[in-house]
């Protein structure tokens, strides 16, 4: 009998232990990283976070740096003394001290690993822990120690390092050194001791027994906790103020501990996972067993600057517990199915969950599955559960039966084979079917009562499931179906919404908020109907979030609306929207059902992978820092750059790869980036930019990032320059321009020269033609002279003046000889022209005896031996003056030929012009013209005018020959002036002068 009693007692103890474990078992969202994810080793000794936000992990096979997405590993090939890195500490300038297990200390500074200290007095030393003291002062001191050996210290001051070593007296065993109020406290096997000046002094704590102390964690108010075997003690002012009895697993040695920013206590038991005592509670929660760590040593904790809790383990890597306002339950916690279709909570706090596998009840932390009878559980698919006056009405698929009535702890559950149900304020039960029909009856379980059938769309039954029935505060009945929404008013009036895209599609959830708005959720999104003004607002998309495939909708405090969706959970406050999904801690993106507990401010979200319990107060207080982007690496061509200041890429390095990050550990997959290169903004999910064949120039790059529910953070700026290739440089362009100018100039000069040569050739040809014309004209003029001379000889012979005729012929022969000698010349000396002119006048004087006399005058500056004039241009005018002017006057005439220079303006240029003036005192031009026959033309004068015209074709000269009738003057004069003007081109200066 006693034996049976003992067995019963033992059985009760085991059951109580199991209940105790289930009572506080839950799973926070977490990420798990091990060597398969890039961690240097799954055996981890310590985790720290540096001032730049990176996580550093000391492992048995190297050092790992983690940015939330990628691991970077350092080993001996990178400069470590060994791969076994057991402890880490950050110095005052951001340098990292790396404790090797047996080979001293390394220093990681500016991305490079250096040797810091490996021997003291020629002896190597071992390390289990590093402790850094006074990192913000000029002097910093590093302690390196193991539990069994000496404590080595290294003091840095003004760049110098001094080392010392302390050997504790046996049987003192130092588990750990901790810094407490700038004092070093030694955790020993006999309690706590002060460690000052390399001496241990026992610290007397009132109420603390002499127990081994394994760990210490500090509160912000100066109090602290210590972990011992089977106990956690709270100490303040050297007095125990609180204690927690630890009787959970194994030897109950509390080996590591953390007090987080919310004063939750996290602690480990040797080789038995880890636990958490929530703030203001004394009951530990076994979290480790939910993460399969119940037999694992969790050796260190870290709370990062986002509030995530990191744990390190021997053999299983590291874990990051994130978004701690969410707790998740699944089949490992006792759920019969992870697919949670409906949720309801009663006044006592029991949570009823409708699943794919019956109904589960969460009561005092224990999941219980409802049974059909003592040996059989309810396994049907549960559509929904409603609490009506303390009784539960369950829509389920129960096979051939229409109804099933069960009882659970005094609670009545009415299970029907219908998809939806509602009880109106008048007590009428409305039951939705799959055939477009609502059944209306006064009693739910009374089949004999009269049942009214009310088709919704049309007047007949067909396949159209009634998903939800809801009565609002104004007694309107709202019916959500696969074909859309219907509003019933006493069943006599139906209202449909064919023009609304949301309300004319499948509706699965309906609720009323505190502002008299009726909300609907369904296939195309959500919609709101305001009872005050009968207005409808639909939301297919809110601020870029697609609300199609919404499954459930509830209202919370502050007028906020929670929307369950197949893509996650949305919180809408009328102005902004927040989005939660797997990256935010939900067990699945598929949110199937919602229940809001206004009293406790807790949201229950049923998903396809369990149920989430969201603490609204913690959620609202959860602060997410705006992400800051950091450039991690840059590559130009095949060259990598470690410094990002004054970046200049050579012309062949214009393929530029830029890697960047925005550190986030809670929801690292939700980081979205936006970048601008010289002004144009682009959005991307990638954490790199790969520019191909950038043109030369200066570039200004900005990168910003945001998380799932944050705005954009501060931009990261990067300025760099792609140097131009030689043919893209300014010098090359100037050379090209100069070359172009030179070539153009050469072409211009060549073409100009060619044109000049051509012009010269044309001019020479023209001049040759003019000379030939001149010679032809001269040839024409000689016969004219001969004709006149022969007439004179004939006259002398006819008058028997033979001697005179003979002299005349001799003189005429001389004159003709001169004409023949100069006939081929275009220009002759003025002296020759004067001589020839004298011969002609003497001939004429011989003919006409004393009827005229002549004068030839050369003015000052006229050198007849150097001046050359066109050939035979004077004689015709002299002859004309003599024959038509003087001889016809009947008196002795005077003929004067004068040569002089005058300045004459031609084409706005003053030219030294040779003036030849032929003056006679004959009858004048007018009278001479009357005496001439009408068909008589002076061939000589015409020839001269033509010759002068040909010689001046390249100049726009004034009229070269002017005739003046002296009888027009008022002084009574008679006669004619012939003025021939020869500008420089029409006379020459002989070089033989």
Radius of gyration of the chain (CA): 61
Category of 340 on φ-ψ map: left (φ > 0), alpha (ψ -120 to 50) or beta:
beta
Q: How far is CA 672 from CA 436, 678, 686, 931, in A?
A: 46, 20, 8, 117
The dihedral formed by the CA atoms of 530, 531, 533 and 537, expressed in degrees to the nearest 10: 20
Are 108 and 93 a contacting pair, CB within 8 Å?
A: no
| Alpha carbon distance 259, 218 (integer Å) | 7
Name the band, by pLDDT with cuts 50, 70 and 90, for residue 935: very low
Asked if pLDDT for residue 231 goes beyond 70, the answer is yes
Cα separations in angstroms, 885 against 667, 750, 786, 921: 127, 58, 21, 7
Q: Is there a contact between 571 and 549 (Cβ–Cβ < 8 Å)?
A: no
Task: Band the pLDDT of 782: cuts 50, 70, 90.
Answer: low
Identify whether the C-beta of residue 351 lies closer than 8 Å to the C-beta of residue 367. Answer: no
Q: Is the N-terminal amide bond of 337 cis, ω within 30° of 0?
A: no
Residues in the chain: 993
SS3 state at 958: coil
pLDDT of residue 2: 41
Average pLDDT over residues 968-992: 81
Report how far residue 441's alpha carbon sits from residue 447's, in angstroms, rounded to the nearest whole number: 9
pLDDT of the residue at 985: 78
pLDDT band of residue 521 (cuts 50, 70, 90) is: very high
Distance (Å, whole) CA 26 – CA 378? 24
Return the bridge partners of 539, or none. 526
Report how far apart, in Å, the C-alpha atoms of 754 and of each of 406, 757, 767, 954 are.
119, 5, 19, 20
Buried b (16+ CB within 10 A) or exposed e, 247-257: ebbeebbbbbb
Provide the phi-psi class of 631: left if phi over 0, else alpha when psi is between -120 and 50, else beta. beta
Give tens-digit pLDDT for 432-488.
Answer: 999 999 999 988 876 656 788 999 999 888 999 999 999 999 999 999 999 999 999
Give the percent of the chain with pLDDT over 70.
Answer: 90
By percentage, how much of the chain surpasses pLDDT 90?
52
Residues 6+ positions from 610 with CB-CB distance below 8 Å: 328, 329, 330, 331, 333, 335, 338, 340, 587, 588
Query: Among candidates 619, 633, 711, 632, which has minimal Cα distance to 672?
Result: 711
Q: 492 vs 34, which has greater pLDDT?
A: 34
Give the pLDDT confidence of 357-394 residue by residue, as tens digits.
999 999 988 899 998 877 788 888 998 999 998 889 99
CATH number 3.30.565.10 given to 736-989? yes
Three-state DSSP class for residue 991: coil
Q: Residue 761's pLDDT is what?
A: 76
Cα(838)–Cα(892) distance, integer angstroms: 18
What is the separation of C-alpha 493 from the centre of its chain, rounded to a whole number of angstroms?
Answer: 58
Residue 24, pLDDT above cutoff 70: no
pLDDT of residue 601: 95
Rounded CA gap, 483 and 889, in Å? 138
Cα gap 417→432, rounded to integer Å: 10
Q: What is the C-alpha to C-alpha distance for residues 724 and 356, in angstroms, rounded to an integer?
A: 67
Distance CA 531, CA 952 (A): 110
Tell me which residue of 679, 707, 462 sits closest to 584, measured CA to CA: 707
pLDDT at 873: 84
- Let me know: does 131 contact 89? Beta carbons within 8 Å: yes
Q: What are phi and psi of 127, to 5 degrees?
A: -135, 135
Write down the pLDDT at residue 11.
Answer: 39
Phi-psi region of 280 (alpha: psi -120 to 50; beta: other; left: phi over 0): left
CA distances from 272 to 247, 251, 286, 864 (A): 12, 9, 10, 139
Place of tokens 């990168």: 703
CA distance 385 to 378: 14
pLDDT of residue 451: 84
User: What is the DSSP track for 475-530?
Assistant: --EEEEETTEEEEEETTTEEEE-TT-TTTTS-EEEEEE-TTSEEEEEETTEEEEEE
Coil/strand/helix, residue 446? coil
Query: What is the per-residue pLDDT for 993?
Result: 44
Say what the pLDDT of residue 89 is. 96
Residue with tokens 């002004």: 679
Token pair 């906020």: residue: 560
> Would you call 761 helix, strand, or coil by DSSP?
helix
Judge whether residue 579 has pLDDT over 90.
Answer: yes
What are the percentages of helix, strand and coil residues in the chain, rounded to 5? 20, 45, 35
| CATH for the 629-728 domain, from 3.40.920.10, 2.60.40.10, 3.30.420.40, 3.40.640.10 | 2.60.40.10
Strand partners for 113: 108
What is the per-residue pLDDT across 804-828, written as a single tens digit (0 to 9) for each?
Answer: 788 788 888 887 787 777 777 778 8
Exposed, middle or buried by CB within 10 Å (0-12, 13-18, 19+), for 331? Answer: middle
Instruction: Report DSSP letters for 676-687, one per residue.
Output: EETTEEEEES-S
pLDDT digits 0-9 by tens, 81-104: 999 999 999 998 899 999 999 899
Least confident of 147-151, 333-337, 480-484, 522-526: 147-151
Confidence of residue 410 (pLDDT cuts 50, 70, 90): confident
**DSSP SS3 for 197:** coil
Task: Report which of residues 4 and 979 the model is more confident about.
Answer: 979
Q: Are 670 and 584 in contact (CB under 8 A)?
A: yes
pLDDT digit string, tens, across residues 60-89: 999 999 999 999 999 999 999 999 999 999
Read off the DSSP letter of residue 682.
E
**Each residue's pLDDT tens digit, 649-708:** 888 888 999 999 999 998 877 899 999 998 889 999 999 999 988 888 899 999 999 998
Q: What is the pLDDT of residue 87?
A: 96
Choose between 756 and 729: higher pLDDT: 756
**What whole-number distance in Å separates Cα of residue 752 and Cα of residue 757?**
8
Q: How many CA atoms lie within 13 A of 376 on its CB side?
A: 6
Of 568, 532, 919, 842, which is closest to residue 709 (Cα–Cα)?
568
CA distance 897 to 450: 157
Report pLDDT for 369.
94
Q: What pLDDT, in 10s, does the model give residues 270-304?
A: 999 999 999 988 889 899 988 999 999 999 999 99
> Rounded to whole angstroms, what are the CA distances from 959 to 254, 494, 902?
131, 116, 16
pLDDT of residue 8: 40
Name residues whose C-beta falls within 8 Å of residue 755's C-beta, 6 or more positions apart in sequence.
none
**What pTM was estimated for this model as a whole?**
0.72
Confidence (pLDDT) at 171: 54
* Residue 939 pLDDT class (50, 70, 90 cuts): low
Whether residue 223 contacts residue 241, with contact meaning beta carbons closer than 8 Å, is answered with: yes
The chain-wide mean pLDDT, for the chain, equals 87
Closest Cα partner for 485 from 473, 502, 471, 472? 502
pLDDT score at 861: 87
Residue 841 — φ and ψ, nearest 5°? -65, -35
What's the rounded mean pLDDT across residues 205-219?
94
Does this chain's domain 629-728 share its CATH topology with 736-989?
no
Please state, in angstroms and rounded to a whole number, the distance separating the CA atoms of residues 545 and 685. Answer: 17
Beta strand pairing status for 105-109 and 477-481? unpaired
**Which sequence spans correspond to the domains of the chain?**
629-728, 736-989
Task: Name the residue among 722, 719, 724 with its Cα closest to residue 644.
Answer: 719
Residue 163 CB partners (closer than 8 Å, separation 6+): 117, 120, 152, 153, 154, 155
Q: What angle do CA 813, 816, 817 make, to 5 degrees?
A: 85
The mean pLDDT value for 826-839 works out to 88
Write a three-state SS string for 541-575. Answer: EECCEECCCEEEEEECHHHCEEEEECCEEEEECCC
Residue 719 bridge partners (DSSP): 700
* Positive or negative: CA dihedral 887, 891, 892, 896: negative
The crossing angle, in degrees rounded to 10, of helices 730-798 and 830-848 is 20
Reported as type and span, the H/E element at residue 152 is: strand 151-157
> Under a CB-based contact definition with an 8 Å cutoff, are residues 57 and 320 in contact?
no
Residue 261, pLDDT score: 93
Whether the per-residue pLDDT at 790 is higher than 80: the answer is no
pLDDT for residue 623 is more than 60: yes
**Cα distance between residue 973 and residue 297, in whole Å:** 149
| Residue 102 tokens, joined | 């047996």
């Amino acid at each position: 009998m006693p034996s049976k009693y003992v067995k019963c007692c033992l059985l009760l103890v085991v059951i109580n232990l199991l209940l105790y474990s289930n009572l506080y078992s839950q799973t926070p969202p977490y990420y798990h990283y091990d060597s398969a994810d890039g961690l240097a080793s799954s055996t981890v000794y310590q985790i720290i976070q540096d001032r730049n936000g990176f996580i550093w992990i000391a492992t048995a096979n190297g050092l790992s740096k983690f940015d939330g997405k990628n691991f970077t590993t350092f080993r001996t090939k990178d400069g470590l003394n060994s791969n076994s890195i057991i402890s880490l500490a950050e110095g005052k300038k951001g340098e990292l001290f790396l404790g090797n297990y047996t080979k001293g200390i390394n220093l990681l500074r500016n991305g490079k690993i250096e040797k810091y200290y490996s021997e003291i007095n020629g002896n190597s030393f071992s390390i289990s822990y590093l402790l850094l003291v006074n990192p913000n002062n000029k002097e910093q001191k590093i302690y390196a120690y193991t539990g069994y050996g000496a404590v080595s210290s290294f003091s840095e001051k003004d760049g110098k390092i001094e080392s010392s070593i302390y050997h504790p007296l046996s049987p003192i065993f130092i588990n750990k050194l901790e810094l407490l109020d700038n004092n070093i406290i030694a955790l020993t096997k006999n309690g706590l001791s002060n460690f000052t000046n390399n001496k241990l002094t026992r610290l007397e704590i009132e109420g603390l027994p002499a127990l081994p102390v394994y760990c210490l964690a500090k509160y912000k108010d100066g109090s602290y906790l210590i972990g011992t075997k089977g106990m956690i003690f709270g100490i303040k002012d050297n007095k125990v103020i609180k204690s927690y009895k630890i009787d959970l697993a194994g030897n109950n040695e509390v080996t590591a501990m953390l007090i987080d920013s919310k004063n939750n206590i996290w602690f480990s038991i040797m080789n038995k996972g880890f636990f958490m005592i929530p703030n203001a509670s004394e009951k530990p929660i076994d979290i480790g067993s939910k993460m399969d760590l119940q037999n694992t040593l969790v050796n260190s904790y870290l709370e990062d600057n986002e509030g995530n809790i990191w744990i390190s383990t021997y053999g299983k890597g590291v874990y990051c517990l994130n978004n701690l306002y969410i707790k998740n339950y699944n089949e490992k916690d006792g759920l019969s199915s992870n697919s949670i279709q409906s949720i309801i909570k009663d006044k006592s706090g029991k949570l009823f969950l409708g699943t794919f596998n019956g109904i589960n009840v969460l009561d005092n932390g224990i999941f219980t599955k409802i049974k059909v009878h003592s040996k059989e559980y309810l396994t049907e698919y549960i559509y929904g559960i409603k609490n009506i006056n303390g009784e539960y009405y369950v829509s389920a698929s129960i096979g051939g039966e229409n109804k099933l009535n069960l009882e659970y702890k005094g609670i009545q559950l009415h299970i029907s084979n219908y998809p939806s149900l509602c009880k109106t304020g008048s007590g009428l039960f409305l039951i939705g079917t799959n055939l477009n029909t609502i059944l209306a009856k006064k009693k739910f379980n009374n089949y004999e009562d009269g049942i009214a059938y009310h088709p919704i769309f049309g007047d007949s039954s067909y396949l159209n499931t009634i998903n939800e029935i809801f009565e609002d505060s104004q007694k309107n009945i709202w019916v959500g179906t696969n074909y859309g929404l219907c509003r019933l008013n006493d069943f006599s009036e139906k209202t449909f919404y064919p023009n609304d895209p949301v309300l004319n599609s499948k509706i699965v959830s309906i609720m009323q908020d505190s502002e008299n708005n009726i909300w609907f959720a369904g296939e195309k999104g959500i919609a709101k109907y305001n009872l005050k003004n009968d207005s409808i607002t639909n939301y297919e998309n809110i601020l870029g979030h697609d609300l199609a495939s919404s499954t459930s909708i509830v209202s919370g405090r502050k007028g906020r609306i929670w929307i369950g969706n197949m893509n996650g959970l949305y919180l809408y406050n009328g102005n902004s929207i927040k989005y939660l999904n797997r990256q935010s801690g939900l067990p699945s993106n598929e949110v199937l059902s919602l229940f809001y507990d206004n009293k406790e401010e807790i949201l229950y979200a049923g998903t396809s992978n369990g149920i989430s319990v969201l603490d609204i107060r913690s959620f609202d207080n959860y602060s997410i820092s705006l992400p800051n982007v950091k450039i991690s690496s840059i590559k130009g061509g095949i060259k990598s750059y470690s410094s990002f200041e004054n970046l200049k890429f050579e012309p062949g390095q214009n393929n530029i790869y830029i890697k960047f990050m925005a550190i986030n550990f809670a929801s690292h997959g939700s980081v979205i980036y936006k970048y601008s290169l010289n002004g144009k903004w682009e959005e991307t999910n990638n954490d790199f930019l790969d520019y191909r064949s950038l043109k030369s120039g200066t570039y200004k790059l900005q990168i910003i990032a945001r998380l799932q529910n944050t705005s954009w953070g501060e931009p990261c700026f990067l300025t760099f320059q792609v140097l131009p290739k030689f043919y893209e440089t300014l010098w090359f362009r100037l050379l090209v321009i100069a070359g172009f100018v030179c070539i153009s100039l050469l072409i211009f000069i060549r073409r100009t020269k060619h044109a000049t040569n051509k012009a010269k050739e044309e001019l020479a040809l023209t001049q040759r033609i003019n000379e030939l014309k001149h010679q032809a004209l001269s040839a024409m003029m000689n016969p004219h002279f001969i004709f006149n001379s022969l007439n004179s000889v004939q006259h002398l012979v006819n008058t028997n003046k033979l001697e005179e005729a003979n002299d005349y012929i001799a003189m005429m022969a001389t004159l003709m000889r001169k004409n023949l000698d100069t006939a081929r010349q275009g220009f002759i000396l003025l002296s020759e022209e004067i001589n020839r002119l004298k011969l002609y006048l003497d001939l004429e004087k011989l003919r006409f005896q004393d009827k005229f006399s002549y004068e030839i005058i050369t003015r000052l500056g006229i050198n007849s031996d150097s001046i050359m004039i066109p050939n035979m241009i004077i004689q015709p005018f002299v002859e004309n003056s003599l024959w038509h002017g003087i001889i016809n006057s009947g008196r002795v005439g005077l003929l004067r030929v004068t040569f002089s220079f005058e300045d004459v303006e031609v084409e706005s240029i003053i030219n030294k012009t040779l003036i030849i003036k032929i003056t006679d005192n004959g009858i004048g031009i007018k009278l001479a013209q009357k005496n001439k026959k009408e068909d008589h033309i002076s061939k000589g004068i015409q020839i001269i005018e033509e010759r002068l015209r040909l010689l001046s074709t390249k100049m726009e000269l004034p009229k070269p020959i002017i005739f003046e009738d002296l009888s027009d003057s008022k002084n009574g004069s008679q006669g004619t002036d012939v003025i021939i003007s020869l500008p420089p081109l029409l006379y020459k200066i002989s070089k033989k002068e």
